[in-house]
């Protein structure tokens, strides 16, 4: 059994408070997905302020083949969100050492329209972290990856043919005004 097959999601209230109920990750995602706890993380490269974006593997049940932020996932029951981010970053993108991990959108919540019959419904705090090397992605999770400037990422999100995740587009509206994203591209950033 793979890590993904054995994972469980934590069901939460509209405010992100665990209900005490959990469900198998894969079986819990369907047309009527219950609200559950998740996270998104944006990994930036210090040398040039580039953002790591990933393409979800074609075999993934939820939003296969779409481009999205660096890494997403679900904390296990009782697992701290920061620990879950680090665990999934190691498993999905081969980056076990993330520097300066911090939450930038602690109350982000979204519900997607159906995509290939699946609705994503998450209370999903959003994190940022830094890495100094290229990822070594797990092919079961990631179909492609690249480093892009924040400006190029903004353009990608506007391209209707780019195949970008709903949550990446939705999170951008809030992230662009938050540090460090609001500072990306400025000449003295990170100096």
Residue 178 bears catalytic tag: no
Q: Rounded to an integer, what distance in angstroms lies between the CA atom of residue 82 and that of residue 108?
A: 15
Binding-site residue numbers for Mg(2+) are 92
Confirm whether 5 is a catalytic residue.
no
Q: How far is CA 63 from the centre of its chain?
A: 12
The strand ranges marked E within the chain are 8-12, 18-24, 36-37, 39-45, 51-56, 67-68, 71-73, 99-105, 109-111, 121-123, 126-131, 142-148
From the candidates 7, 72, 82, 124, give the one annotated as an active-site residue: 72
* Phi, then psi, of 82 in degrees rounded to 5: -60, -40
Binding residue positions:
29, 36, 74, 92, 120, 122
Given the residues 7, 41, 82, 122, select the one marked as catalytic.
122
Q: Which residues are annotated as a binding site for Mn(2+)?
A: 29, 36, 74, 120, 122
Indicate which residues carry an active-site annotation: 72, 122
């Amino acid at each position: 059994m793979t890590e993904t097959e054995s994972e469980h999601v934590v069901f939460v209230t509209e405010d992100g408070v665990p209900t005490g109920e959990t469900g198998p990750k894969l079986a819990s995602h369907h047309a009527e997905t219950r609200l559950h706890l998740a996270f998104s993380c944006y990994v930036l490269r210090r040398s040039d302020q580039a953002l790591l974006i990933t393409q979800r593997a074609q075999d993934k049940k939820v939003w296969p083949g779409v481009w999205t932020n660096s890494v997403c996932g679900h904390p296990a029951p009782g697992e701290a969100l920061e620990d879950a981010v680090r665990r999934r970053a190691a498993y999905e993108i081969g980056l076990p050492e993330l520097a300066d991990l911090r939450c930038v959108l602690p109350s982000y919540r979204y519900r997607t329209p159906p995509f290939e019959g699946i609705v994503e419904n998450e209370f999903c705090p959003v994190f940022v972290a830094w890495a100094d090397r290229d990822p070594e992605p797990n092919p079961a999770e990631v179909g492609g990856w690249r480093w892009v400037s924040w400006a190029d990422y903004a353009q990608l999100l506007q391209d209707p043919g780019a195949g970008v995740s709903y949550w990446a587009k939705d999170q951008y509206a809030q992230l662009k005004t938050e540090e460090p994203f609001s500072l990306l591209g400025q000449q003295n950033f990170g100096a």
